[in-house]
Amino acid sequence: MDYFPLYFDLRGQPCLLVGGGEIAYRKAELLLRAGAELKVVAPVISSRLRSLLVSHTHEIIERAFEPHDLENVILVVSATDVREVNEQVSIAAKARQLPVNVVDSPDLCSFIFPAVIDRSPVIAAVSTGGRSPVLTRWLRELLESLIGDGYAVLGRFLGERRNDMKQTWPDVQERRRITEAFMQSPGFGLAMQGDYQAAEKYLGQHPDDLMQGEVYVVGAGPGDPDLLTLKALQLMQRADVVLYDSLVSDAVLDRVRRDARREYVGKRGGDTSTSQTSINDLLVQYARQGERVLRLKGGDPFVFGRGGEEIETLVDEGIPFQVVPGITAATGCAAYAGIPLTHRDYSQSVRFVTGHPKDGEVRLEWQEFAHANQTIVFYMGLGGLERITCNLIEHGRAPQTPVAIIAKGTLPEQQIVVGNLEDIVSKVRAKQLARPTLIIVGEVVSLYDRLSRQST
């Protein structure tokens, strides 16, 4: 191990910072976050740095460093851009056995600063031993996404209960088993969301009694796995079993925990489909068996996703669940195609409409779609494209109104066909479009040529 990582309690502790510029400012910010009392020494100290030091507990000394500045401090940081000064500080500090850091000069340091992910009381630190700031930052971002804010809330919850737990379960082994069981239970998610009262019920129960599963209804977005939310990823890593739709891309499914069981429950026009009732039943059955069930749905679960029906069953059956929104096809496809859904010059509103016929007929308020200055996005509409365009024209929408059809939006295979209400049907016929496809109708589509970043 090149360095030994330690967490210093700096609250109320006097620390010396030599330097008065930008680098010193950044170090001061960090040290102040940890509650240090700063003595800042430099011939010139920037007003920005001064503004951090308004409290009377800090000292500002505007002159060159002198060795006696090291008196009564417990930690030293030298952040000047003059090598000789940095050397002088380092030698003097080391002579007094004081821990010293010199910015960007590992040879002069007895300790280095890691990159910090602060979810106090949870704090993660990462370092490459000064070898690569870019790699350090990369790793920090990775950890930032893994250790969300919820861990701070969870950490506080567990911290507040630690003493009680110690009294109730004096045996360390047993206490650990009980806490680990809690971490596997729905209480974990509840504590993360700050619902301490509900989480409490799961803390301290016998692990065998905690065999209650839960359901995560998660929006998988339109296809590109980078469009998943951090929360979706976290729950995808916790799941024991995943029930997924045909809309969930392989790339997204790849991000689910490797050893989670995968079950396809997709419906696609014509396919033998798993009925909604049997999906609802499966969710309940698996959760009852104590499993963490991930219900992964394309786009957003509450936009033409029947997420509402699924959680209704869960509510009725008293099964704990969480719903995580996803990027819906309309916003995902629009962004990747370069078609803003609203625009001050072209469209003041946008509607998401289903083009899927119920009982063989699409009953929509067509006359409401007739006004220009609005964007209409049809989900599940390709099969009825001709009917949609005819209806729009019949009810008064201008035949020249631009239309875009986006197939497999946000995926590498994304295809776009652009036309207008009169010619889009024949243009689409000429192409073999893969599913799923989305239809965008409105003047905003005319911006496509200028704003698209992908060729089709």
Interface positions with ligand SAH (CB under 6 A): 222-223, 247, 297-300, 303-305, 328-329, 333, 379-380, 406, 408-410, 436-438
Q: Which is nearer to ligand SAH, 46 or 246 (CB)?
A: 246
User: How far apart, in Å, are the Cα atoms of 440 and each of 246, 310, 354, 384?
Assistant: 22, 28, 12, 14
Closest contact distance (angstroms) between CB of 288 and ligand SAH is: 26
For ligand SAH, give the closer residue by CB, 19 or 222: 222
To ligand SAH, the closest distance from the beta carbon of 174 in angstroms equals 45
State which residue, 302 or 366, has the beta carbon closest to ligand SAH: 302
Pairwise CA distance, residues 68 & 262, whole Å: 67
Lookup result for tokens 């009980």: 178
115, containing H or E segment: strand 115-119
CB of 249 to ligand SAH, least distance (A): 8
Nearest residue (CB) to ligand SAH, 286 versus 304: 304
Q: Which residue out of 245, 297, 300, 408 is catalytically annotated? A: 245
Contact status, residue 444 vs residue 375, Cβ threshold 8 Å: yes
At residue 98, what are phi and psi to the nearest 5 degrees? -95, 135
CB of 349 to ligand SAH, least distance (A): 19
Beta-bridge partner residues of 217: 295, 323
What tokens were used for 95? 């002579």
Report whether 404 contacts 445 (CB < 8 A).
yes
Which residue's CB is nearer to ligand SAH, number 203 or number 220? 220
* Catalytic position from the list 94, 118, 267, 427: 267
Is 250 one of the annotated active-site residues of the chain? no
DSSP assignment letter at 369: G
Give the torsion sign (CA, 186, 188, 193, 195): positive
Active site annotation includes 408: no
Q: Return the half-sphere exposure (C-beta side, CA atoms, 13 A cut-off) of residue 308.
A: 3
Cα radius of gyration rounded to whole Å, the chain: 30
- Residue of minimal Cβ distance to ligand SAH: 299
Active-site residue set = 245, 267
